[in-house]
């Protein structure tokens, strides 16, 4: 039971991250390496610049109903800003160039945070009420895990509804499927791309919020690890396919947790090696991803 | 693939590129020698090491067009192989007690160690390549990344052989500049020889026109594997020399940061160009060095001007973005540095090897 919840909550994080990357990849074929740094940024947006070990809280004391929208807005805002200033110039550049540009951007954001906050992890208590355990079916599970899972599911439903029921969502899906065609039919490219960036930034902020309350620290490296796994999940799921990204995110989370419990003690430190080995296997048998997105097939 | 109708062989027509690049590298070494300052010497050694790594990346990425995040894994293999082979047996006994006995007693000179390290990396490149290179496009990139992460996880946890995450010290340090210079020149020539060989030309044909190349009898997987193994060997050699330049190896030295700095240098220089690989390193390294000096502070009269910590990386990132925004295919794009005289013969020819390459694809 505990294992199941661990798997689900880790998977939720990966799934949210993978969604954020897949959204942007879908509309502009950009593998956004700055995503992890957007995650860290939205957490640090809650703090005053300082180099102390204990965080000087700025907006973190807000009641939760203000705090959450604030963080989400910060993430979305930064993400849109990146689009406006930088990625707009790279429309039509080849994917490797865009990838390195996004990496350089992530670098800039990370060191900007470093300049303001120093590289020392800061202790921060966000929403402390959430660390209390609750009892579900005989297992004691931190409330936060439950909320993480519930929130992820809620976000997934909201996003699905948004993509399927609203005009903007329809345009976004059309753009993801065939960008040129969508433009011909009157979809405003810039607006759709900006929307994708805003959503992805908000998702990044959600991850940041969950991570910060889970670990109780704010660290400028915090986004990196999640982003790498999310990035892998996006590919395993089938690049550009949103359901695929979510599925693969949960699978990766489950694989990590299950291997942690199943592997013999000697092999446990090598858990990640096994997870990555599994990733390679999946790719070899399904190079197009678990759920291949239409329009990403290699044409001859 | 030399074409009998062409007057000069491909090698004759393209030899100027490695020669010019060699001249640039030698010039750097001479400047370092002339300045005689120890830190500057170390900087130039760093540049040579990065040249080896980025040229190693170019051999695979540039010619095959498949982005690889995994090559620094081979550098890691090479670095640790150098440690295993060249450390004094006494040190190995305490730091790495899990090594087999014959390896424990062995102590090779650094150059022999570097050669074996290159072969060791090439061996693993062949093993991984055989599995991974059936993939293409972004799936291949991610698979190489997974390979890097696997190598890193194994080396960070295999306590008895790699001392886990703690650093392995006691690797003999080589401070003179020459071995690095020779290795850098060697890797430039290896890259050149591969690029004009049958395998290299076929691989570039497959990069530009996969379908046509396959139809003309190019076995894409095989050509990719050849490039993968050669570049793995170069990366392994680079890793071994890297270990000798600082005398310490840790798994995290050879992980994401190094992966991204070397990839950035390649992309900024121009992915499809050997000259771009070398120039990218030289330009970005000089920029990094200049910013470091500024960060340490420049004394003018009685006041010291310095830029705040962290601004170095920020500037570097911004400069990279600006270069890429104006030249999306990198500084050199797909062209190579050649003698000016060689140009008028065929004005539209970007690099010496292009016509033959087109000969294969069309």
| Chain centroid, CA B22 distance in Å | 15
**Segments of chain B with pLDDT less than 70:** 1-8, 298-309, 341-362
Residues of A with CB below 8 A from B328's CB?
A: 90, 93-94, 97
Asked if B308 and A94 come within 8 Å (Cβ–Cβ), the reply is no
- The minimum CA-CA distance between B151 and chain A, rounded to whole Å, is 7
Asked if B325 and A232 come within 8 Å (Cβ–Cβ), the reply is no
| B153: closest chain A residue by CA | A273
Dump strand ranges (E) for A124-230. Answer: 133-136, 139-142, 217-218
Condensed to tens digits (0 to 9), the pLDDT of residues A107-125 reads 889 888 888 887 777 777 6
Condensed to tens digits (0 to 9), the pLDDT of residues A5-15 reads 888 888 998 99
d(C-alpha A193, C-alpha A197), whole Å: 6
| A288: closest chain B residue by CA | B139
What's B340's DSSP letter? G
| B212: closest chain A residue by CA | A300
- The minimum CA-CA distance between B220 and chain A, rounded to whole Å, is 15
What does the pLDDT read at residue A25? 86
Asked if A105 and B146 come within 8 Å (Cβ–Cβ), the reply is no
Tell me the average pLDDT across A54-68.
67
pLDDT band at A127 (very low <50, low <70, confident <90, very high): low
| A103: closest chain B residue by CA | B260
| B130: closest chain A residue by CA | A284
Token look-up 């796994």 returns: A229
d(C-alpha A232, C-alpha A240), whole Å: 12
Residues of B with CB below 8 A from A41's CB?
A: none
Condensed to tens digits (0 to 9), the pLDDT of residues A85-102 reads 888 888 877 777 888 888
What does the pLDDT read at residue B244? 94
Out of A94, A111, A279, the one facing B313 most closely (by C-beta) is A111
| A87: closest chain B residue by CA | B325
Is B6 within a domain?
no
Buried b (16+ CB within 10 A) or exposed e, A229-257: bbbbbbbbbbbbbbbbbbbbbbbbbbbbb
Number of domains in chain B: 1
Label residue A24 exposed, middle or buried (CB < 10 Å: 0-12, 13-18, 19+): buried
Is B5 within a domain?
no
What does the pLDDT read at residue A137? 66
Is B3 within a domain?
no
Asked if B328 and A93 come within 8 Å (Cβ–Cβ), the reply is yes
What's A54's DSSP letter? B
Residues of A with CB below 8 A from B211's CB?
A: 300
- The minimum CA-CA distance between A241 and chain B, rounded to whole Å, is 14
Residues of A with CB below 8 A from B212's CB?
A: none
Asked if B313 and A99 come within 8 Å (Cβ–Cβ), the reply is no
d(C-alpha B113, C-alpha B120), whole Å: 10
d(C-alpha A192, C-alpha B17), whole Å: 45
What does the pLDDT read at residue B39? 83
Residues of B with CB below 8 A from A111's CB?
A: 310-314, 317
Is B4 within a domain?
no
Structure tokens at B72: 């620094």
d(C-alpha B336, C-alpha B209), whole Å: 21
- The minimum CA-CA distance between A226 and chain B, rounded to whole Å, is 14
Out of A104, A280, A298, the one facing B137 most closely (by C-beta) is A298
Measured CB to CB, residues of chain A less than 8 Å from chain B are 31, 86, 89-90, 93-97, 99-101, 103-105, 107-108, 110-112, 114-115, 224, 228, 231-232, 235-236, 239, 269-273, 276-277, 279-280, 283-284, 287-289, 298, 300
Task: Please state which of the ranges A43-47, A95-99, A140-144 shows the lowest mean pLDDT.
Answer: A140-144
Is the ipTM value over 0.85, yes or no?
Answer: no
pLDDT band at A271 (very low <50, low <70, confident <90, very high): confident
Is B212 within a domain?
yes
- Partnered with residue A47 across adjacent β-strands are A57
Residues of B with CB below 8 A from A93's CB?
A: 324, 328
Residues of A with CB below 8 A from B292's CB?
A: none
d(C-alpha B237, C-alpha B121), whole Å: 8
pLDDT band at A293 (very low <50, low <70, confident <90, very high): low
Contact A134, A141 (CB under 8 A): yes
What does the pLDDT read at residue B168? 87
CATH number of the domain that B178 lies in? 1.10.3470
Percent of all residues in chain A with a pLDDT value above 70, rounded to a whole number: 87
Helix H or strand E segment including A300: none
Contact A100, B324 (CB under 8 A): yes
For residue B251, the enclosing domain spans: 11-361
What does the pLDDT read at residue A42? 86
Asked if A100 and B142 come within 8 Å (Cβ–Cβ), the reply is no
Out of B132, B138, B147, the one facing A235 most closely (by C-beta) is B138
Structure tokens at B276: 């771009």
| A237: closest chain B residue by CA | B139
What does the pLDDT read at residue B359? 36
d(C-alpha A291, C-alpha B302), whole Å: 66
Out of B134, B256, B329, the one facing A284 most closely (by C-beta) is B134
Is B97 within a domain?
yes
Asked if A231 and B324 come within 8 Å (Cβ–Cβ), the reply is no
């Amino acid at each position: 039971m505990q294992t199941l919840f661990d798997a689900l909550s880790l998977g939720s994080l990966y799934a949210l991250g993978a969604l954020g990357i897949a959204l942007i990849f879908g509309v502009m074929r950009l593998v956004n390496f700055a995503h992890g740094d957007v995650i860290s940024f939205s957490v640090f947006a809650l703090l005053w610049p300082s180099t102390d070990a204990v965080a000087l809280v700025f907006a973190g004391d807000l009641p939760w109903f203000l705090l959450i929208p604030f963080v989400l807005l910060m993430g979305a805002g930064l993400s849109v800003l990146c689009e406006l200033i930088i990625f707009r110039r790279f429309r039509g550049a080849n994917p490797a160039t865009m990838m390195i540009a996004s990496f350089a951007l992530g670098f800039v954001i990370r060191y900007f945070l470093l300049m303001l906050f120093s590289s020392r992890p800061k202790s921060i208590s966000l929403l402390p009420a959430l660390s209390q355990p609750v009892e579900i079916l005989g297992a004691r599970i931190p409330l936060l895990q439950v909320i993480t899972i519930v929130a992820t599911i809620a976000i997934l439903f909201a996003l699905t509804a948004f993509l399927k029921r609203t005009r903007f969502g329809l345009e976004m899906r059309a753009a993801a499927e065939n960008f040129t065609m969508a433009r011909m039919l009157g979809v405003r490219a810039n607006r759709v791309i900006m929307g994708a960036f805003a959503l992805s930034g908000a998702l990044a902020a959600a991850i940041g919020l969950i991570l910060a309350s889970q670990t109780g620290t704010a660290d400028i490296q915090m986004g990196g690890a999640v982003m790498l796994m999310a990035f892998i999940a996006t590919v395993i799921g089938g690049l550009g396919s949103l359901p695929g990204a979510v599925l693969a995110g949960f699978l990766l989370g489950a694989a990590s947790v299950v291997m942690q419990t199943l592997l013999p003690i000697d092999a446990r430190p090598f858990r990640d090696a096994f997870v990555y080995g599994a990733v390679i296997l999946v790719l070899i048998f399904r190079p197009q991803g678990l759920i291949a997105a239409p329009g990403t097939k290699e044409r001859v | 693939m030399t074409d009998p109708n062409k007057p000069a062989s491909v090698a004759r027509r393209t030899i100027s590129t490695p020669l010019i690049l060699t001249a640039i590298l030698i010039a750097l070494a001479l400047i370092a020698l002339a300045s005689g300052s120890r830190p500057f010497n170390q900087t130039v050694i760093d540049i040579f090491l990065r040249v080896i790594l980025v040229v190693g990346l170019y051999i695979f990425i540039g010619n095959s067009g498949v982005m690889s995040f995994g090559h620094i894994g081979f550098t890691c293999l090479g670095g640790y192989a150098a440690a295993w082979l060249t450390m004094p047996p006494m040190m190995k006994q305490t730091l790495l007690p899990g090594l087999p006995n014959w390896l424990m007693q062995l102590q090779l000179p650094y150059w022999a160690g570097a050669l074996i390290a290159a072969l060791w990396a090439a061996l693993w490149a062949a093993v991984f390549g055989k599995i991974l290179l059936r993939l293409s496009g972004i799936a291949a990139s991610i698979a190489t990344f997974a390979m890097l992460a696997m190598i890193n996880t194994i080396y960070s946890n295999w306590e008895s052989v790699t001392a886990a995450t703690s650093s392995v010290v006691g690797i003999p340090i080589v401070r003179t500049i020459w071995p690095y210079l020779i290795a850098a020149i060697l890797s430039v020539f290896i890259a050149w020889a591969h690029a004009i060989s049958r395998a290299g030309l076929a691989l570039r044909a497959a990069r530009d026109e996969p379908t046509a190349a396959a139809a003309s009898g190019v076995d894409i997987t095989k050509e990719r594997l050849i490039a993968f193994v050669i570049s793995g060997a170069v990366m392994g050699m680079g890793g071994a020399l890297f270990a000798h330049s600082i005398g310490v190896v840790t798994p995290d030295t050879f992980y994401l940061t190094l992966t991204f700095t070397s990839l950035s240098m390649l992309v900024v220089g121009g992915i499809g160009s050997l000259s771009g690989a070398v120039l990218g390193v030289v330009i970005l390294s000089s920029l990094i060095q200049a910013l470091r000096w500024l960060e340490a502070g420049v004394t003018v009269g009685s006041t010291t001007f310095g830029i705040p910590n962290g601004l170095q990386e920020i500037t570097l990132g911004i400069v990279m973005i600006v270069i890429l925004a104006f030249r999306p295919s990198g500084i050199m794009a797909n062209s190579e540095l050649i003698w000016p005289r060689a140009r008028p013969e065929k004005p539209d020819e970007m690099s010496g090897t292009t016509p033959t390459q087109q000969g294969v694809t069309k």
